[in-house]
Amino acid sequence: MSTIQVQGKFIIHTNRMTEKLERLKREICRKGNLLQFENTVGEILVSIFESDCSVSCCDTCETSSIEQATDGTLKTRIRIGFKRQKEKPIHYIWDILHEFGHHLSGLPNGTERSIKRESEAWDLGLKQLRKYPELFEYEDDYEKYREISLKTYE
């Protein structure tokens, strides 16, 4: 067992979980060119896993997405798409926070894919961003990325 500190809280993880998160953090940072945000990416991943959601990298996915069973029978999984390179590396973090926002907003109704649900996920992602001081100076970029993304739903 090991203990790590995240946002002032001490969290106990098994060595196996810690190693899994560490590998995933390194993979995301390497593929997304996010080495300067390595600690923040790690903290975000811990928050996601603690909320009973998982994350994986997808080299064949052009966009990031979330898989949620509407009846709650499957564990929610965020897939980070790395097939198409982002304009800015930090946009991978915005995708992670947005998809995490979907998880935090609860299960969708059927195949719901509304602008309201998308906007709520971006709002919840912004709340998550504000938990990480290293990301504060990039909030304007998050908002611009959000607006561009929301336009794809119109």
pLDDT one-digit tens code per residue, 17-57: 688 899 999 999 999 999 999 999 999 999 999 998 999 99
Distance CA 33, CA 119 (A): 27
Average pLDDT for 6-25:
66
Neighbouring C-beta atoms of residue 43, cutoff 10 Å: 19
Determine the 3-state secondary structure of 48 from DSSP. Answer: helix
Backbone angles phi, psi at 153, to 5 degrees: -100, -5
| Domain housing 68 | 2-151
pTM of the model: 0.86
pLDDT attached to residue 29: 97
More confident residue, 99 or 2: 99
R_g of the chain, CA atoms, integer Å = 15
Distance CA 122, CA 142 (A): 9
How confident is residue 114, by pLDDT bands cut at 50, 70 and 90?
Answer: confident
Distance CA 118, CA 66 (A): 12
CB–CB of 17/49 below 8 Å? yes
pLDDT attached to residue 54: 93
pLDDT attached to residue 53: 93
Helices 90-104 & 38-50, crossing angle to 10 degrees?
A: 10
Domain count, the chain: 1
Cα–Cα distances (Å) from 44 to 55, 93, 101, 128, in that order, read: 11, 9, 12, 8
Cα–Cα distances (Å) from 114 to 14, 41, 91, 133, 153, in that order, read: 39, 28, 22, 31, 8
By the 10 Å C-beta count (0-12 exposed, 13-18 middle, 19+ buried), 148 is classed as exposed
